[in-house]
Amino acid sequence: MARVALVTGGTRGIGHAISVALKAAGYRVAANYAGNDAAAQQFQAETGIPVYKWDVGDYAACEAGIAQVTKDLGAVEVLVNNAGITRDAMLHRMTKEQWDQVIRTDLDSVFNTSRHVIESMRSKGFGRIINVSSINGRKGQMGQTNYSAAKAGIHGFTKALAFEGAAKGITVNTIAPGYIATEMVAAVPKEVLDTKIIPQIPVGRLGESEEIARAVVFLASDDAGFVTGACLDVNGGHYMAT
Ligand code: NDP
């Protein structure tokens, strides 16, 4: 029986590519989203992947949403924590609301979803949790204390849960994308991209969502059973961690 994969923020951008790639690899995929119904309906019509609307920052909503996915498709064996937002501002101008929104959506969400799949993964003796962080959680970024903190927090969560899951066949890993050609990056003016960002990327271009999706498919696979607690940087050489 095909394994069940849940992709948060799975209807747009990088998540869209991850959902499609997992389906192509033979998984039964559920794609979660927050509020953009038009994009979600179009995604479902185009891909045939069922969509589930809930806020990953809301613990009770995650419990209910994952219960529904489990009822419809079966217990989640592959969880991809991809949903994320930015609310950029220099710290001296950042509001408490901007801080809270990003921590809630980008970091609390990882607990909220993982908590509701971990028990069934432990009972099955198999699980894959793949957390989408960011280059800016690795190296820091001006105007992103909230985002860099949330994304760096994901790395600590990943390593701690990797210890807990190891004896139960559960791997937990992080992927840290560099600058990927999605709507999030399309919002950056072309001149800034051409003069400030792309020159810092040794490969000389933005990444594609499909390049992140292929890394997810590998980490979800049986072939990746010995990879846990790791961070896979997919950034064109933009930041090479020691
Ligand atoms: P997009 O903004 O294109 O898509 C975000 C997706 O997440 C959408 O499906 C959105 O749903 C969903 N989402 C947002 N908030 C919530 C929420 N509270 N509950 C449930 N779903 C939510 O983002 P990207 O594809 O650009 O980014 C995906 C991930 O990759 C993020 O974690 C981001 O931080 C990370 N990343 C992206 C990089 C890039 O260059 N783009 C670089 C490094 C990391 P809806 O459609 O309903 O709004």
Atom of ligand 1 nearest to the CA of 36: 47
Segment 91-131, tens digit of pLDDT: 999 999 999 999 999 999 999 999 999 999 999 999 999 99
Q: In the prediction, which pLDDT does 186 show? A: 79
Report which DSSP code applies to 119.
Answer: H
In a 10 Å sphere around its CB, with 0-12 CB exposed, 13-18 middle and 19+ buried, how is residue 69 labelled? buried
Q: Is residue 184 over pLDDT 80?
A: no
Question: Tell me, what amino acid is at 33?
Answer: Y
CA 202 to ligand 1 centroid distance, Å: 25
Nearest CA to ligand 1 atom 31: 84
Segment 130-154, tens digit of pLDDT: 999 999 999 999 999 999 999 999 9
Q: pLDDT band at 187, cuts 50/70/90? A: confident
Segment 159-170, tens digit of pLDDT: 999 999 999 999
CA atoms of 151 and 195, how far apart (whole Å) = 26
Atom of ligand 1 nearest to the CA of 147: 34
Atom of ligand 1 nearest to the CA of 53: 20
Does the annotation count 147 as an active-site position?
yes
Tracing tokens 């790791």 back to the chain, one arrives at 230
What are the DSSP E strand ranges found in the chain? 4-7, 28-33, 51-53, 78-81, 127-132, 170-177, 231-234
Report pTM.
0.98
> Which one is catalytic: 27, 33, 52, 147?
147
Q: In the prediction, which pLDDT does 1 show? A: 81
